[in-house]
A and B are shown apart, each in its own frame.
Chain A
């Protein structure tokens, strides 16, 4: 390899990455500094949490969740991890290895919940039993268990590794369908209310190329392979569309999401308040719900009664190989 001609914007050392959205190149040290500053700005601007709060980080073994856990610990926050074993074949086995190694190497506290061991089902089986998209059963299971663990463990906030690409893709999907209720809830921080814990997304100002670079430069051994079930899903298609736009017009993606948060979300706040008015406690688990039994408990009933389904039977379009 011949050294590149591009120099770091901050120190003029040889660059390791080009970030067109910042119209700049960065060396390793200043790329890490940029990531720290962007996370810190998100935490401060959106009043996510403070230095004394106990944080529960939802970790998957992928780059974003391990990056946010690493960045929070480095910044001096008190953060434990929560990992949910989803039972998605080899993918879940490898995820478990990456998460447990990350926590053990750094002496961090990791809470693990295994869906099959604890609730008698896994994601492939839940998808088949409910005849719904696997990502739907997965997302609902994880959200419920994150909420429950945070409440039970007395944590002040649940943190997830959602990044700018994730949020922009979800926003695009919600805009394409003008789903006002979802739009109103798509915020970088949701307050503790109606029995739900506070939830925050400190990486919303960082792209996934930047979080991946953080992991690489910090020596974080994350699971690079994507979930075989998610492969080819609509969310990934929305990311591809946004990246095609970004290629022609750098920084459009961040403008799309961050200007939505600044300019549009306040106008939708009333809608959000109205949508969460009729919640009560699930008679089984005590979680907030609109019905007698919450969606998670209904999922457990249906999925745990079904014969186990191997992951190969529910692979996404691009996951079949």
Chain B
């Protein structure tokens, strides 16, 4: 599947079907710090992603205080 990431903006290919939580774990990303959007729709951690999906992993942490 195609995975779009930010900071810096980039796209990577990830093999195989897997859940959102497994994808985040594989990329060493913390769930609390990200939203996952599959084919334009927000999805929860147990959603299963297919090889032909386009996935955006959007960080939600901002630096201002």
Q: Which residues of A approach B to under 8 Å, CB–CB? A: 1-6, 15-18, 20, 25, 28, 60, 62-64, 135, 138-139, 162, 165-166, 169-170, 207-209, 211-213, 216-217, 224-227, 230-231, 233, 235-236, 239-240, 243-244, 246-247, 316, 318, 321
Contact of A63 with B62 at beta-carbon distance under 8 Å, contacts A2-B50, A207-B32 already known? yes
Size bracket, chain B contacts: 20 to 34
> Are A17 and B44 in contact, CB atoms less than 8 angstroms apart?
yes
Please, what's the 1-or-0 string for B43-58, where 1 marks a CB less than 8 Å from any CB in chain A? Answer: 1111111100100001
A235–B65 touching, CB < 8 Å: yes
Chain A residues within 8 Å of B58, by CB: 212, 216, 224
Contacts A165-B61, A208-B61 given; does A1 touch B39 at CB 8 Å: yes
Q: A60-B64, A63-B62 are in contact. Are A1 and B38 (CB under 8 A)?
A: yes
A165 and B34 CA atoms in complex are apart in Å by 13
In angstroms, Cα B31 to Cα A185, docked, is: 31
Say if the beta carbon of B16 comes within 8 Å of chain A: no
25 A-B contact pairs sorted by A residue (CB < 8 Å): A1-B43, A1-B47, A1-B53, A16-B41, A17-B35, A18-B31, A18-B45, A20-B31, A60-B64, A64-B62, A135-B64, A135-B65, A209-B35, A211-B60, A212-B60, A216-B35, A216-B42, A216-B58, A224-B58, A226-B59, A227-B62, A231-B63, A233-B63, A246-B32, A321-B8
A16 partner residues in chain B, CB cutoff 8 A = 41-44
- Contact between B43 and A4 (Cβ–Cβ < 8 Å)? yes
**What residue of chain B has the Cβ atom nearest to residue A236's Cβ?**
B63
Cβ contact of A243, chosen from B33, B38, B50, B64, cutoff 8 A: B33
Chain B residues with CB below 8 A from A25, complex form: 44
Please state if B65 and A247 are interface contacts (CB–CB under 8 Å): no
Q: How far is the CA of A18 from the CA of B19 in the complex (A)?
A: 13
Do B65 and A209 touch (CB < 8 A)?
Answer: no
Considering the complex, give the chain A residue whose CB is closest to the CB of B41.
A16
Report the separation of the CA atoms of residues A28 and B44 in the bound assembly, to the nearest whole angstrom: 11
Cα distance A282–B42 when bound, in Å?
50
